[in-house]
Amino acid sequence: MSTLPKIAWIGLGIMGSPMAENLLKAGYPVTGFTLEQDKLERLAAAGGTAAGSIAEAVKDADVIITMVPASPQVEAISYGENGILENARSGALIVDMSSITPQTSIDLAANAAEKGIRVIDAPVSGGEAGAIEAVLSIMVGGEQADFDDALPILEALGKTIVLCGPHGSGQTVKAANQLIVAVNIQACAEAVVFLEKSGVNLSAALDVLGGGLAGSTVLARKKDNFLNRDFKPGFRIDLHHKDMGIVTDAARNVGAALPVGAVVAQLVASLRAQGDGGLDHSALLRAVERLSGAQV
């Protein structure tokens, strides 16, 4: 009989499924709920328990982990008669690993506290590969004691785990992360088109660039995407579009100028408007190719 905390996992998408499976591998009992039956079957096949509703999943849970696309989904699963706050036990800890607005996290923590439920925001960076390999970077906002309680669980999911400040701080750092990643991908995409149009061996060029100051995790992770034009989603343009909206709005609220970030946000939005929202964010390459005269 496991003495580890009982975990409810809400949201079993590209990131959520492998993350929940890593907790199962670490010995945690996981009961999951998501809207897609095949994802529930995958969880059960990995040794988890599939629940028929949010209420069923969370009723006996010590820790409730949520991983859904955006603020509206977090609010939908958290509030209302069938939501987490009405069905979780007092003293439970919600670990919201979605990427949402800082204010949504602050509001959730305040509303949960009224019911004796604790909350930390713990968005992640690392994409699908980082989720599968359990090497995510996890940026956390909340109380130190709640962070300490969650840390053993988070250590089964990631390698860099940092309490960044009070509620909402994890989301603020995640917004900054998404700004850096988007600008980095855009720069890599422009370099790829420049190199190819110059007749340089692209694979060789990316290898040597990766070993110098231009090297980055983005370049290392996305090099094959660029070389093979493989844009199978690890992190969709649709989601990065949402995140760029979060960072530009949050920056405006605090009076921070993001001149390059604003341009890249528009480039992400334009790629989405051209029908590429379901592709990996490395598909920013397609937008640069179109601007450079290629038919893609």
Which amino acids are annotated catalytic? 174
Please state, in angstroms and as integers, the Cα–Cα distance from residue 145 to each residue in 60, 91, 118, 195, 296, following that order: 21, 13, 10, 51, 51
d(CA 169, CA 183): 22
Concatenated DSSP letters of 169-182:
HHHHHHHHHHHHHH
Residue 224 DSSP class: H
β-partners of residue 64 are: 8, 94
Helix (H, G, I), strand (E, B) or coil at 128: helix
The helix, strand and coil proportions of the chain, stated in percent and rounded to the nearest 5, come to: 55, 15, 30
